[in-house]
Chain A
Amino acid sequence: MNKKFPYNTSDLKPSRRDFLRLSGAGLAAAMLARYGMPPAFAQMAGDIPAELHPGSPNNPRGWTTTLPPIPDGMPVDPPVTITGSRRGPWEFAEGDDIENSPFTRLNAAVTGIHWKLAFNWTDNEAEVLQKYNLAIASNELPDFMETVPLQIYSDLLENDLLEDITDVWEEVAHPVWLKEAMGFGDGVAWQYAEVNGRKMGIPYIEQAAQNDKLLWIRQDWLDAVGMSAPTTIEELHAVMTAFVEADMGQGGAGTTLGIAANSQLNAWYCSLDPIFGAWGVIPAFWTPDENGDLRYDSIRPEIKEVLGTLRQWYAEGLLAQDFFTYAPWQNGSHIGGNLAGLMYTPAFAPDFGLPDSVANDPDARWVFGDIPVGPTGIKKKAWSNPVPETVYCFRKGFEHVDLVLKQIAWWAELLQDPKNRHHGFEGTRYFWRNEDGELDPMGGTLDLNGYDDTKHIWGPPGTNGGSRTSPFYELDLIKERRNVWANLPENERDAYMEAFLGGDALSVLWDEAIIFAVDHWEADGIKNHFVTVPTRTMELTGAALEGLEQEVFLNIIIGQDPLDRFDSFVDEWHSGGGDRITGEVNEWWHGQM
Chain B
Amino acid sequence: MTLQQYLRRAWPLYVMIVPGIVFVLLFRYYPMYGVVIAFQDFSPAKGFLNSPWIGWANFEFFFSLPYFGRIFGNTLIISVSKIVLDQVGAIILALLLNEARHLFFRRSIQTLIYLPHFLSWIVLGGILLDILSVRGILNQGLGLIGIESQLFLGSNDWFRGTVIASGFWKNVGFSTIVYLAALTAINPVLHEAAAIDGAGRFRRIWHITLPGIRPTIVLLAALSLGDVLQAGFEQILTLYNPAVYRTGDIIDTYVYRTGLISAQYSLAGAVGLFKSFIGFILIVISYWLADRYAGYRIL
Contact = CB atoms under 8 A, between A and B. Distances in A.
A156 B45 CA distance: 7
A263 B44 contact: no
Contact of A560 (B43, B65, B155, B258): B155
B66 A551 contact: no
Interface string B124-150: 000001000111000000000000010
A547 B243 contact: no
Contact of A547 (B133, B135, B245): B245
Main secondary structure of the interface of A (DSSP, over half): helix
A244 to B, nearest CB: 14
B63 to A, nearest CB: 13
B257 interface: yes
A576 B154 contact: no
A466 B133 CA distance: 36
Interface string B60-79: 01000111000000000000
B67 A544 contact: yes
A151 interface: yes
B45 A136 contact: yes
B260 interface: yes
Contacts of A576: 66
B154 A558 contact: yes
Given A544-B67, A576-B66, A161 B258 contact: no
Given A322-B133, A551-B243, A539 B262 contact: yes
Given A255-B135, A321-B151, A534-B262, A159 B43 contact: yes
B243 A133 contact: no
B153 interface: yes
A543 interface: yes
Interface string B248-275: 0100001001101111100000000000
A542 B261 CA distance: 8
Interface in A517-553: 533-534, 538-544, 546-548, 550-551, 553
A158 B45 contact: yes
Nearest to A558: B243
A321 B134 contact: yes
Interface in A427-469: none
Contact of B262 (A151, A263, A544): A151
B43 A324 contact: no
B67 A263 contact: no
A324 B154 contact: yes
A322 B242 contact: no
Contacts of B151: 321-322, 325
B12 interface: no
Most buried by A among B61, B151, B263: B263
Contacts of A129: 263
B129 A325 contact: yes
Contacts of B61: 540
Contact of B154 (A125, A158, A325, A543): A325
B258 A159 contact: no
Given A324-B241, A325-B241, A544-B258, A137 B47 contact: yes
A320 B65 CA distance: 34
Contacts of B214: none
Of the candidates B61, B67, B242, the one having the most CB atoms from chain A within 10 angstroms of its own CB is B242
A155 B44 contact: yes
Interface residues of B, number: 33
Nearest to B129: A325
Contacts of A546: 257, 261
A538 B261 CA distance: 8
Interface residues of A, number: 42
B242 A263 contact: yes
Contacts of B156: 560
Contact of B261 (A155, A252, A539, A548): A539
Name the residue in A251, A320, A543, A546 with the highest tally of chain B Cβ atoms < 10 Å from its Cβ.
Answer: A543
A560 B44 contact: no
Interface in A209-254: 251-252
A204 B43 CA distance: 25
Contacts of A122: none
B254 to A, nearest CB: 8
A133 B51 CA distance: 14
A137 B46 CA distance: 8
B134 A551 contact: no
A379 B246 CA distance: 35
Interface-centre pick from A158, A538, A547 (highest chain B CB count, 10 A)? A547
Contacts of B44: 133, 136-137, 155
A554 B257 contact: no
Nearest to A552: B242
A544 B243 contact: no
A551 B262 contact: no
A324 B242 contact: yes
Nearest to A542: B261
Interface in A288-337: 320-322, 324-325, 330
A133 B134 CA distance: 43
A544 B66 contact: yes
Interface in B23-67: 43-47, 61, 65-67
Interface in B198-234: none
A255 B149 CA distance: 13
17 contacts: A133-B44, A136-B45, A137-B45, A159-B43, A161-B45, A324-B241, A324-B242, A325-B153, A539-B264, A540-B61, A543-B260, A547-B242, A547-B254, A551-B246, A554-B242, A560-B155, A576-B66
Given A321-B149, A541-B66, A543-B260, 17 more contacts: A133-B44, A136-B44, A155-B44, A159-B45, A263-B241, A263-B242, A321-B151, A322-B134, A322-B153, A322-B154, A324-B242, A324-B243, A533-B262, A543-B261, A550-B245, A551-B243, A576-B66
